[in-house]
């Protein structure tokens, strides 16, 4: 489903919401002492809006909800949690790369293309490239990232903290981006114009006592188009040591677009295909030499380097 989470000395990009059932809409017969409410789950937790994915809003769409209960709101999320395809995967001693096509998870009346390419450069850097196309220009496309505490926005960079970790996120595309913070008291689980709180006996918990993910950043284009490209550089680290984001810039080369950034002692330059098949190119230089200079794979290669410990 093209979702990701990031942990580095804290939960920095969260899977927000909670299971445990809320207390309003009832499931089963009202006289059943074991019946439970599921408003939070149906309208928030099981919806794309609660995760680090992409929304495509289509007026009048009915989302399926969960466990036979229809959703009461239209967030622009997926209408099924299956249908995505992994298009490419590789891992080595410098980076891990994966590409996934989640177009099939969305209503075909709104989604033409929802493809994510995700690069993890060890140990602290991520590049996320999304190609998102809708059927009509007025179907707004929104990129999401959830945090536990309120993010701070400075220009095209936002940051947040949790535990001993800090995350920085820089939006390189869209060029004319709109940033919106959503969350805080009474809006922690905001969807469809209202809040969908967790079960009543959990509502006394503070953000220091739970990991529900109380905030999210929404990134969208200020221009209505059928197709948007989202390009983000993410850096994580120790909150006591990581004070600012590394230097970075967007790189445009013909039919490819990507990012160049400093990763410790190395300079990383990654490019992605704007159209067509997933793929691109990565070049890493360090200590005056080239340590990687190759095309990103277009195949799903075997994962190596893992072993079961007794």
What CATH number is attached to the domain comprising 84? 2.70.98.70
pLDDT bin (cut points 50, 70, 90) of residue 22 is low
CA-nearest of 39, 18, 44, 42 to 202 is 18
Q: What is the mean pLDDT of residues 131-143?
A: 99
Q: What are the φ/ψ torsions at residue 48 (nearest 5 degrees)? A: -55, -30
pLDDT bin (cut points 50, 70, 90) of residue 31 is very low
pLDDT bin (cut points 50, 70, 90) of residue 173 is very high
Q: 256 lies in a domain? A: no
Q: What is the mean pLDDT of residues 241-270?
A: 98
Number of domains in the chain: 1
pLDDT at 282 over 60: yes
What does the block give as tokens for 82? 């299956």
* Amino acid 49: pLDDT: 97
Q: 192 lies in a domain? A: yes
pLDDT bin (cut points 50, 70, 90) of residue 19 is confident
* Amino acid 30: pLDDT: 47
Q: 36 lies in a domain? A: yes
Q: What is the mean pLDDT of residues 168-177?
A: 98
Distance from C-alpha of 223 to C-alpha of 8, rounded to nearest angstrom: 34
Q: 83 lies in a domain? A: yes
Q: What is the mean pLDDT of residues 218-239?
A: 98
Q: 119 lies in a domain? A: yes
CA-nearest of 156, 299, 296 to 230 is 156
What's the Cα-to-Cα distance from 266 to each of 47, 164, 170, 207, 259, rounded to whole Å?
39, 25, 19, 36, 14
pLDDT digits (tens, 9 = 90+) for 99-116: 999 999 999 999 999 999
pLDDT bin (cut points 50, 70, 90) of residue 32 is very low
What does the block give as tokens for 14? 């969260």
What's the Cα-to-Cα distance from 38 to each of 4, 71, 298, rounded to whole Å?
24, 10, 41
> Over the chain, what is the mean pLDDT?
92
* Amino acid 105: pLDDT: 97
Q: 22 lies in a domain? A: yes
Range of the domain at 102: 6-246
Q: 97 lies in a domain? A: yes
Q: What is the mean pLDDT of residues 146-164?
A: 98
pLDDT digits (tens, 9 = 90+) for 44-74: 999 999 999 999 999 999 998 776 778 899 9
pLDDT at 214 over 80: yes
* Amino acid 249: pLDDT: 98
Q: 182 lies in a domain? A: yes
What does the block give as tokens for 257? 């677009």
pLDDT bin (cut points 50, 70, 90) of residue 124 is very high
Distance from C-alpha of 118 to C-alpha of 116, rounded to nearest angstrom: 6
pLDDT digits (tens, 9 = 90+) for 177-211: 999 999 999 999 999 999 998 877 788 888 888 99
Query: Which residues contact residue 174 at a Cβ distance below 8 angstroms, ignoring those fewer than 6 apart?
Result: 219, 220, 221, 222, 223, 228, 229, 230
* Amino acid 209: pLDDT: 86
Q: Model's pTM, two decimal places?
A: 0.93
Q: Quick one: how many helices (H) and strands (E) in the chain? A: 1, 23
């Amino acid at each position: 489903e093209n979702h990701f989470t990031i942990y580095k000395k804290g939960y920095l990009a969260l899977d927000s919401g909670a299971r445990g059932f809320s207390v309003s809409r009832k499931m089963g017969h009202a006289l059943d002492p074991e019946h439970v409410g599921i408003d939070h789950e149906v309208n928030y937790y099981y919806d794309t809006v609660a995760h680090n994915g992409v929304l495509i809003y289509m007026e009048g769409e009915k989302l399926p909800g969960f466990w036979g209960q229809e959703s009461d709101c239209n967030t622009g999320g997926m209408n099924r949690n299956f249908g995505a395809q992994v298009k490419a995967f590789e891992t080595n001693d410098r980076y891990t790369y994966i590409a996934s096509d989640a177009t099939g998870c969305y209503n075909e009346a709104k989604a033409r293309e929802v493809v994510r390419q995700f690069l993890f450069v060890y140990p602290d850097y991520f590049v996320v490239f999304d190609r998102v196309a809708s059927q009509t220009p007025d179907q707004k496309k929104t990129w999401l990232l959830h945090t536990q505490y309120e993010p701070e926005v400075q220009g095209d960079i936002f940051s947040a903290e949790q535990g001993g970790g800090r995350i920085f996120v820089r939006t390189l595309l869209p060029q004319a981006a709109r940033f919106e913070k959503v969350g805080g008291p009474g809006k922690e689980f905001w969807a469809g114009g209202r809040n969908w709180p967790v079960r009543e006996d959990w509502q006394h918990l503070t953000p220091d006592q739970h990991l529900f993910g109380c905030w999210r950043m929404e990134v969208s284009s200020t221009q209505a188009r059928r197709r948007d490209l989202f390009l983000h550089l993410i850096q994580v680290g120790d909150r006591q040591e990581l004070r600012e984001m590394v230097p970075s810039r967007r790189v445009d080369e013909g039919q490819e677009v990507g990012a160049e950034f400093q990763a410790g002692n190395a300079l990383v330059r990654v490019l992605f295909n704007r159209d067509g098949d997933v793929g691109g190119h990565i070049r890493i230089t360090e200590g005056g030499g080239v340590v990687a200079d190759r095309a990103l794979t277009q195949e799903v290669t075997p994962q190596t380097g893992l072993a079961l410990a007794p």
